[in-house]
């Protein structure tokens, strides 16, 4: 394939990613790293809800974007750059990658766009504790020769039960739990607001 680090960076700029933790049980490591302050919440859903909720992106119709939902694979890059990892992914991703290329037929320098989604689902083994699921969008308007004018996309769920529960940080004070409860009621969400089942660590 012969991709360069610069072409990888340019292509990634056209991808939009929403990241989720796949484990049912809570993780204190996840609360500590991604909810660094006591005023933090965890939005809970399920794979089935992600699939059937059919995120609606007003700016992109179905024929102008590709949507992916998959588990992240954790690998040992062995000091390789992103382009080198991508250049060795063929044997792992060939069947799916072939289908994507057949549907969109990226040409020239844009060939890399047919492979970028698969790079998005590889992370260093040191992050394996995240047990990550990624929902990603690749715009068909993408071109490695131009800048992406968007800084992000607003995802709108068409199902009110998309959020199954909102869980509040184990370190959250009572007033914050009350604020979260008020917000859920204000926007007429049907999900419960729950306190974390984890206790704050005992500090010596």
pLDDT in tens, 103-156: 555 666 777 777 776 678 888 888 988 999 888 887 777 887 788 888 887 776
Structural domain including 89 reads: 5-195
pLDDT value for 97? 43
pLDDT value for 169? 93
Instruction: Report the C-alpha gap between 192 and 41 in whole angstroms.
Output: 13
Is there a domain that residue 200 lies in?
no
Q: Given strand 165-168, what is the order of strands in its sheet?
A: 41-44, 165-168, 193-195
Is there a domain that residue 99 lies in?
yes
Is there a domain that residue 29 lies in?
yes
Q: Considering only CA atoms, which of 10, 8, 38, 2 is closest in space to residue 177?
A: 38
Other CB atoms within 10 A of residue 112 CB: 23
Q: Which range is most confident: 1-5, 30-34, 102-106, 111-115?
A: 30-34
- Contact predicate 139/173, CB 8 Å: no
- Contact predicate 57/137, CB 8 Å: yes
pLDDT value for 179? 97
Other CB atoms within 10 A of residue 47 CB: 12
Other CB atoms within 10 A of residue 8 CB: 22
Q: What is the mean pLDDT of residues 19-26?
A: 90
Return the minimum-mean-pLDDT range out of 22-36, 49-63, 168-182: 49-63
The secondary structure of 62-127 as a DSSP string is: GGGEEEEEEEPEEE--TT--HHHHHHT-HHHHHHHHHHHHHHH---GGGGGGGTHHHHTTEEEGGG
The secondary structure of 27-69 as a DSSP string is: -HHHHHHH--SSS-EEEE--HHHHHHS--B-TT--GGGEEEEE
175 pLDDT more than 90: yes
Residue with tokens 């965890």: 42
Instruction: Report the C-alpha gap between 23 and 166 in whole angstroms.
Output: 15
Mean pLDDT of the chain: 77
- What's the total number of domains in the chain? 1
pTM: 0.76
Is there a domain that residue 201 lies in?
no
What are the pLDDT digits (tens) for 74-105? 877 666 665 566 555 544 444 444 444 445 55
Parallel, antiparallel, or unpaired for β 41-44 and 165-168?
A: antiparallel
Is there a domain that residue 204 lies in?
no
């Amino acid at each position: 394939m012969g991709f360069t680090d610069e072409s990888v960076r340019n292509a990634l700029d056209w991808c939009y990613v929403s990241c989720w933790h796949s484990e049912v049980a809570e993780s204190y490591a996840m609360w500590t790293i991604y909810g660094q302050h006591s005023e933090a919440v965890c939005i809970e859903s399920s794979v089935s809800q992600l699939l059937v909720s059919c995120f609606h992106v007003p700016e992109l119709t179905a024929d102008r974007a590709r949507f992916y939902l998959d588990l992240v694979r954790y690998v040992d890059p062995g000091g390789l750059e992103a382009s080198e990892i991508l250049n060795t992914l063929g044997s792992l991703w060939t069947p799916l990658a072939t289908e994507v290329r057949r549907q969109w037929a990226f040409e020239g320098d844009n060939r890399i766009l047919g492979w970028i989604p698969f790079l998005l689902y590889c992370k260093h083994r040191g992050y394996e504790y995240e047990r990550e699921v990624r929902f990603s969008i690749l715009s068909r308007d993408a071109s490695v020769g131009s800048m992406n004018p968007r800084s992000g996309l607003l995802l709108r769920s068409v199902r009110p039960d998309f959020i199954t529960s909102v869980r509040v940080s184990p370190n959250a004070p009572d007033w914050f739990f009350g604020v979260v409860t008020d917000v859920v009621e204000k926007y007429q969400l049907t999900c419960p607001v729950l306190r974390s089942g984890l206790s704050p660590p005992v500090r010596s």
